[in-house]
Structure 1
Amino acid sequence: MASLAEKPRQSIAGLWNISFGFFGIQIGFALQNGNMSRIFQTLGASVDDLPWLWTAAPLTGLLVQPIIGHLSDRTWNRLGRRRPYFLTGAILSALALILMPLAPAVGAPLLFAALMLWLLDASLNISMEPFRAYVGDMLRSDQHAAGYAVQTAFIGAGAVVGSIFPYLLDAFGVSNSAPDGTLPDTVRLSFWCGGAALLAAVLWTVISTREYSPEEMAAFAGPGDEGEQPVRALAAKTFASSIAWLVAGIVVIAAVAQFGLEKEVYLLGGLLAAYGLLSAAAIALARQGRTSGMLTQIVGDFSGMPTIMKRLAVVQFFSWSALFIMWINTTPVVAQYHFDSPDPASAGFQEAGNWVGVLFATYNGVAAVAALALLPLLARRIGKARTHMVGLAAGAVGFASFLLITDPNWLLLSEIGIGIAWASILAMPYAILASALPQRKLGVYMGLFNVFIVIPQLLVATVMGSIMKAFFPGEPIWTILAAALVMAAASLAMLAVRDAPQAGR
């Protein structure tokens, strides 16, 4: 058997260029995560309204990421395979960041802000998803860990910039207060500058890198890259699982109507039922031999995920549930329990919002350092899987400490544990998977893996509000306890995961 071609080793400059665009993408995510609850509350939303207002973000990710992954696996034009999606997403993201602060000036400001969040999150996902596969495309398997570590460092650095921007503008004298129902200049300028930085960073990667041609990628491909087995297996499946998904969705919808649950839970039921119908359609198409379509391919790949990916999906489910709880609830928690200012119209609430930006910048800064220093050291000593287990445990401790700390300054210590977990979440699962997945389907598998980032966010957005209203009305601090518990569950779930063997390509 002829030996396979081997990808050239990337230099430090090459690793930098491949992932620098993620620096800008994460500025956009940080501005979204750190400020959207603040914006929604400033525009008149209550704490209980926040989960459903955030549903646009994970819903768009659920739809966009597998589709973009599937398409980018099959794209080749003058810009390449993945770079057309980087650039398109960056342009749309920058537009959303520019328009978001204009919400108070339109007739329905809260609706406009929710629509801009939808556009922003969809566009960020269009850029982000191919970046995960891009590292696998461009690097040899023995550089995967280094590549994802550099990417994580840029994610952390970009998030620091995006998170701390309002605080720094306030420190330099930009107004951090505004009349009721309007946004302070610190927030407005942060979004506009963030849009410019995002576009510039992605352009750097687009201009400074060259993707391998389809012929070169075919030469690099290894055994098992045929990748059609999941679709063939789909044709042999019965409709039982499809019916089960459909029935589950109908049960959830009926429960909402019967027990008066929050209306956003309808979304969860609708998604379950929709997947049941789509999977049934895909099975029917596969049985007819029509296996080349997007629906059949994506459903086949989803149902035929490798075992290691399924086990890591459980870990992703728990860990991202904790993160989404944090992003939604940190501002109201810090404002109410650490600044004693739950009123969004108060100066103390805006001060708390800026401090949350500092806290988010801290955990992202810790993540950037941990990705390059701590995680590689631990991975060499105890393996990538056990390193991820330790990192997630550190995050659980960080969340739990919120219940014990009253001085907001000491919350910086909590962010150290959260930052270590964040670094591990962004690097270790992808480093474990990259060498185990078929190269020619890397985009769609990375997109499907990211579904398990989105599903827990949808659950949190649709269910958390009902739980809080029923058991802890007006007490958002208990959401952080929930984050600690589910992060601990993610750490324990890593006991079922072993490091993937290295592939020689």
Structure 2
Amino acid sequence: MEKRKLSFWEIWNMSFGFLGIQFGFALQGGFMSRIFQTLGAAVDDIPGLWIAAPLTGLLVQPIVGYLSDNTWSPKYGRRKPFFLIGAIIASITLFFMPHSPALWIAAGLLWVLDSSINISMEPFRALVADKLPETQRSNGFIIQTLIIGIGTWIASNLPWLVNKLGISNEANAGIIPDSVIVAFSIGAFVFLTSILFTIFTTKETPPENLEQFLQEKKASRFIPDLLLSLKEMPSTMKKLGLIQFFSWFAFFTMWSLSMPALTEHVFHSPKPDVKLYAKLNAAEEPLVNAKKEIIYLNAEKEKEYKAKDKVYNNAADLVGSATGIYGLSSMAFALLLTFYTMKNKINRKFIHMASLVLGGLGFIYMFYATPETLLYAFILIGFSWGSILSMPYAMLSSSVNPNKMGMMMGLFNMFIVIPQIIAALGGINFLYKLIGEAHINAMLLAGISLIIAGLCNLFITDKNAISG
């Protein structure tokens, strides 16, 4: 049975929950490295602290996809229960994250946060395929990207905005600034409320053949179904996987190292090392008093540290705001494609290739950017981000069994998390140091990776995947 075409606002409502999901991702991607540095992490240790996030995705996504494929309730729907569970856990974690008293607690909460975001996110991708006819798939994923762009821009600017409203972005050594704490609290609220909006405004439709669905559900087993899905993985999905590998290696590099790289190279305001200003114990860790405040060598050193840390925090806010520009340009990218795809077909392959190459050039431009021109780098990166969030999924949804959409979307996530795991386990540090020791070279590495991803689109030949 042919699915009915949905209006713009129906697609908007069913995708609105992505606003909250992206608040979570943007705060995580833009400010977790700042939190890690504040709690004492060295720059080269930061990618390793992110390892829990992609490892979680590798495990959670296929399981959630499988469970949502095999769930149906006339009252609660098919995908919506997973939206809600993930949103509740993510919102609680976002609230407590900036209150982390130690580095290991922040790293553990990142694991919980990424798990819960994954629980909410992948069923949203499957919902587009569930409800939209083939002719509207590109449009559906592009509208999701439009909402994601809005969320990225607003969330990335939150610490800067709340600071401008009078909430301090300064704090004692080892303490997260109030501006970051308030931003994460706002993110927690938006995450939950936007998911609830989609749940209450979107009605899921039952499987086309409910009796057959229930019989298949009884016979299904996760491991055999997983192995069968891996065996049946279409060639287009494998080729898209290669593109995703290089794309997400680039963006993981940005999320984990752009804050220290840009505050250092573009703003010339690196995070000061408190060990150079404080009294140290036998393990060469800063001594603290009964109130857990750093004991400085003297009043002059305390004053010097706080002055440099203030400059760093101001630079970090500006880097966060500049980062939000890629959400804004991805939103513009999605908006243009939304209007165009309402009446016209597009060549997904060439749009994706051009977008990724432009993003790669944006990363390379960071090496030459000034505080005034950094936004141009993120504008270019936004084109690639907008395409990454829509084109691969549109191409994939035209190539796989619709009855296994959740499982296949979950497996597709392997091509997202595996490069991130490789990057976190030392891939970033090893490769960028082949270019040079300066942390900005990590952004050059991201640019090279994204350009390779763009060129890999030439391997896509399936006409159904390309045109939509």
TM-score (norm 2): 0.87
Distance 1:58 1:203 in 2: 26
Determine helix, strand or coil for the equivalent of 1:88: helix
Cα distance in structure 1, aligned partners of 2:314 and 2:423: 26
Aligned to 1:490: 453
- Please point out which of 345, 353, 375 is paired with 1:412: 375
Paired residues for 1:428-467 under 5 Å: 428-464=391-427, 466-467=429-430
Does the 8 A contact of 1:384 with 1:428 survive in 2? yes
Rounded to whole Å, the distance in 1 between the matches of 2:53 and 2:348 is 30
Q: CA deviation at 1:48?
A: 1.3
Farther off after superposition, 63-72 or 337-346: 337-346
* Inter-partner Cα distance in structure 2 for 1:349 and 1:427: 35
CA change 1:428–1:375 in 2 (3 A) is farther
1:391 aligns with 2:384: no
Deviation of 1:343 after TM superposition, in Å, equals 2.3
Deviation at 1:466, TM superposition (A): 4.7
Aligned-residue Cα RMSD (Å) equals 2.4
| Equivalence for 2:16 | 20
Write out aligned runs for 1:210-225 (5 A).
210-215=203-208
Aligned match of 1:311 in 222, 230, 239?
A: 239
Q: Does 1:204 align with 2:197?
A: yes
Residue 338 (str. 1) matches residue 266 (str. 2): yes
Match of 2:228 in 1: 300
Q: Secondary structure at the match of 1:409?
A: coil
User: Residues 218 and 399 from structure 1, CA distance in 2 versus in 1: closer, same or farther, beyond 3 angstroms?
Assistant: farther
Q: 2:98 aligns with which of 97, 101, 105?
A: 101
Distance 1:217 1:18 in 2: 22
Offset of residue 214 of structure 1: 2.5
Flag structure 1 segments of 5+ consecutive residues without an equivalent: 229-289
User: Which residue is equivalent to 2:47?
Assistant: 51
Distance 1:391 1:216 in 2: 39
Asked if 1 retains the 8 angstrom alpha-carbon contact of 2:431 and 2:445, the reply is no
- When residues 13 and 375 of structure 1 are mapped into structure 2, their CA distance, relative to the original with a 3 A threshold, is closer
CA distance in 1, matches of 2:457, 2:210: 32
Q: Does 1:32 align with 2:28?
A: yes
Relative to structure 1, the CA distance from residue 469 to residue 437 in structure 2 (aligned partners, 3 Å threshold; closer, same or farther) is closer
For residues 213-259 of structure 1, the C-alpha deviation after alignment (integer angstroms, 9 at most, x for no partner) is 1346789x9xxxx999xxxxxxxxxxxxxxxxxxxxxxxxxxxxxxx
Q: Is the 8 A contact 2:433 2:441 kept in 1?
A: no
Mapped to 2, the partners of 1:217 and 1:400 lie a distance apart of: 52
The offset of 1:423, in angstroms, is 0.4
The 8 Å contact of residues 138 and 211 in structure 1, kept in 2 or not, is answered as yes
Structure 1 Cα separation of the partners of residues 69 and 245 of structure 2 = 25
From 329, 347, 350, the equivalent of 2:313 is: 350
Residue 185 of structure 1 corresponds to 178
Give the Cα separation in 2 of the matches to 1:466 and 1:128: 29
Q: What is the rounded CA distance, in whole Å, between the counterparts of 1:469 and 1:6 in structure 2?
A: 50
The one-letter amino acid of 2:439's match is P
2-structure distance, mates of 1:144, 1:10: 11
Write the letter of the residue equivalent to 1:140. P
Paired residue for 1:139? 132
Task: Identify if the C-alpha distance between structure 1 residues 499 and 373 changes in structure 2 by more than 3 Å, giving closer, same or farther.
Answer: farther
Q: Distance in 2 between matches of 1:69 and 1:177?
A: 42
- Secondary structure, in 3 states, of the residue corresponding to 1:408? coil
Paired residue for 1:402?
A: 366
Q: Match of 1:214, SS?
A: coil
Matched positions, count: 428
Measured in 2, the distance between the counterparts of 1:165 and 1:394 equals: 27
Contact between 2:139 and 2:338, CA under 8 Å: does it hold in 1? no
Percent sequence identity over matched residues? 43
Kindly state the Cα deviation for residue 341 of structure 1 after the two structures are TM-superposed.
1.6
- The answer for the alignment partner of 1:91 in structure 2 is 88
CA distance in 2, matches of 1:409, 1:74: 51
CA distance in 2: counterparts of 1:489 and 1:291, whole angstroms: 42
CA drift at 1:304: 2.3
**In 1, are the aligned partners of 2:168 and 2:178 still within 8 Å (CA)?**
yes
* Equivalences for residues 251-266 of structure 1 within 5 A: none
* Separation in structure 2 between the aligned mates of residue 12 and residue 338 of structure 1, nearest angstrom: 41
Amino acid at match of 2:405: L
